[in-house]
Amino acid sequence: MTNNALPGSQVRTWLNEFCLRYFQLRDPEGTLALLSPNFISVGTGDGEVAVNKEQFHRLLRDELQAVPWPLSYKIDNYTQHQRATTCWDCFCDVHIGLEQPEYGIHVIYHIRLTAGFHLEGERWFIDTMHASEASHTQEEGEFFPLSFALQGTSQINRSTQKELIEILAQLMPGGVVGGYVEDGFPLYVANDRMLQMAGYQSYEEFSRQIQGLVINSIHPDDREFVKMVVAQALAKGDQYEVQYRMKRRDGTDMWVHDIGRKTVADNGREAIISVLVDISEQINAKKDLEKAADKDPLTGLFNRKAGQNRIENAMHSSGGYLFVIMDLDNFKQVNDLYGHQQGDRALHEFAALLTHTFRRTDILFRLGGDEFGVFFSAPRDLGVLERKLNSVVKSYQALTQKHWPAARSSVSIGGVYGQLPREFSELYRTADQVLYEVKNAGKGAVLIRPL
């Protein structure tokens, strides 16, 4: 927006552009682009003073983190004066609103605003800005213009702040819960949305179930982690952010994203007010994607990469191991004589045979093509495992004789066992050498050697 003359009408246009980007679009970069590098601002809170653009950027970033929602605005009682040839000042009333008709919510906050503009080259910039309010409800530490509704920096149960906290809580896809910053986080507030998320009929029921301590609403395995994150964050500032599993009333788990801020209750005790958002669907979807990425789509076993990763992890925690490679002999004949659809069926049937034969804790995976791998962690009796491996050879032979006899396909198994951790590449190479011995000796057999 450039104009050397800048008629009076354009001063208001420029101010409106600032309000649009700041309040409605909540666009920090767009807002900053309208400001002079030496921009000076004074907000409605004691700490809201910026003597340059960078300081204002920090204030803006903190505000948007606390109040990210779009806000409506209306400029009234506007007036302006030309201070110099290329400088203008204006004054107006600005009504900032949070409006959600579907919830019947209409919150208005009124400020008085003065701003100064000046010309730099061919562009006009906002040079100064001062916001003030006629009331005395805002206190030190609050963000301009609506953060008093969200944070309650002095007393969380002041009537105005508490009403607006409840209003904003209705707009969120999660709920609000608060606890004192004491051992176990004694409960002091929970809104209806949070109770509904967790399956409780009343605040009293929730309080009884968790024995009055917010920490008891968290999955036992996550409690120490949550306490550590909160303690570390509050040691550095007054806000934390963490994800964990929360226990529902029916005993099931709910993943939540928790953003909390430290405050002071009216009795003088330090407390935390936090917003919880149910992210169970996102977490489960992510797990499903990770699971799908780990699985071989044809057989349902782990793919090579997933199998290798699990073996490397198990290798360092197991008291010994056995690793075998299984190769389907003459498998190309199944495809050539009976078609690829039957070849796929044979692979699927062999994978099902492995799943049925071995434990769920054993690592079964498809190395690729007609080659499979199995890793046994801390085997107690190699003789028992060898008998199971031989049963796989016999079962697959019976399967091929029934469905694909002309292919004369069998399975050869070669493996190694040891105690010391090895790289997967070395483990595979040595097991493959043993498998090669089996194939040279006539195929369709099992051979295991020590490392």
CATH (domain of 65):
3.10.450.50
Half-sphere exposure of 438 (CA within 13 A, CB side): 27
Both 107 and 213 in one domain: the answer is: no
Paired strand residues for 447: 414
Listed residues 259, 283, 307: the one ending a domain: 283
Token pair for residue 143? 């963000």
81 and 211 in a common domain:
no
DSSP 401-413: HHH-GGG--EEEE
Structure tokens at 361: 């804790």
**Domain coverage including residue 345:** 295-450
Residue 86 inside a domain? The answer is: yes
What pLDDT score does 119 carry? Answer: 76
Distance CA 399, CA 408 (A): 11
Order the strands of the 87-100 sheet from edge to edge. 49-50, 35-42, 123-132, 105-120, 87-100, 72-84
Sheet holding 321-329, edge to edge: 363-368, 371-377, 321-329, 410-418, 446-450
Residue 113 maps to a domain: yes
Tell me if residue 236 falls in helix, strand or coil: helix
Going by C-alpha positions, the residue among 295, 294, 291 that lies closest to residue 283 is 291
- Cα distance between the two ends of the chain: 76
Q: In which order are the strands placed within the sheet that holds 253-264? A: 187-190, 174-180, 270-278, 253-264, 239-247
Examine residue 314 and state whether it is found in any structural domain, yes or no.
Answer: yes
CATH classification of the domain holding 234:
3.30.450.20
**Together in a domain, 29 and 103:** yes
Is there a single domain that holds both residue 310 and residue 403? yes
| Number of domains the chain contains | 3
Separation of alpha carbons 16 and 252, rounded Å: 50
In a domain, 3, yes or no: no
Q: What separation in angstroms does the CA of 111 have from each of 47, 114, 155? A: 17, 10, 23
In a domain, 267, yes or no: yes
Q: Which residues contact 65 (CB under 8 A, 6 or more apart)?
A: none
Instruction: List the structure tokens of 298.
Output: 């044809």
Residues 360 and 415 in one domain: yes
Domain boundary among 116, 149, 182: 149
Whether residue 115 is contained in a domain is answered as yes
In a domain, 195, yes or no: yes
- Which one-letter DSSP state was computed for residue 248? -
Rounded distance between C-alpha atoms, residue 128 and residue 115, angstroms:
5
Is there a single domain that holds both residue 48 and residue 68?
A: yes
Q: Are strands 87-100 and 72-84 parallel, antiparallel or unpaired?
A: antiparallel
User: 134 and 48: one domain?
Assistant: yes
Query: 137 and 215 share a domain?
Result: no
Structure tokens at 357: 């034969």
Residue 269: per-residue pLDDT: 87
Instruction: Give 87's DSSP letter.
Output: E
- Please tell me whether residue 382 adopts helix, strand or coil conformation: helix
Long-range contacts of 42-46 (CB under 8 A, 24+ apart): 42/129, 42/130, 42/131, 43/131, 43/144, 44/111, 44/131, 44/132, 44/133, 44/138, 44/142, 44/144, 44/145, 45/138, 45/139, 45/140, 45/141, 45/142, 45/143, 45/144, 46/140, 46/141
Do 108 and 245 lie in a common domain? no
Which residues share a beta bridge with 89?
81, 116
Tokens 């006009």, located at residue: 124
- Boundary residue ending a domain (103, 118, 149): 149
pLDDT of residue 160: 43
Q: Are residues 375 and 429 in the same domain?
A: yes
Residue carrying structure tokens 């469905």: 403
d(CA 321, CA 310): 13
Going through 70-191 in order, the beta strands assigned E by DSSP cover 72-84, 87-100, 105-120, 123-132, 174-180, 187-190
Distance of alpha carbon 258 from alpha carbon 217, whole angstroms: 13
On whether residue 124 sits in a domain, the answer given is yes
The helix (H) or strand (E) run that includes residue 329 is strand 321-329
Cα–Cα distance for residue pair 48/145, rounded to 1 Å: 11
Same-domain status, 445 and 305: yes
pTM above 0.75, yes or no: no
In order along its 451 residues, the chain shows pLDDT tens digits of 444 444 556 788 889 999 999 998 989 999 999 999 889 998 877 678 888 899 999 889 888 877 777 888 999 999 998 888 888 999 999 988 876 555 445 567 888 999 999 877 777 799 999 998 765 444 444 444 334 334 333 333 444 444 555 555 555 556 889 899 999 999 988 888 889 999 999 999 999 999 999 999 999 999 999 999 999 998 988 889 999 999 999 999 999 999 888 888 767 788 898 889 888 988 888 887 777 788 998 999 999 999 999 999 888 776 789 999 999 999 999 999 999 999 999 999 999 999 999 999 999 999 999 999 999 998 888 999 999 999 999 999 999 999 999 999 999 999 999 999 899 999 999 999 999 999 999 999 999 999 8
What is the domain-level CATH number for residue 335? Answer: 3.30.70.270
354 and 240 in one domain? Answer: no
Helix and strand totals (H; E) in the chain? 13, 16
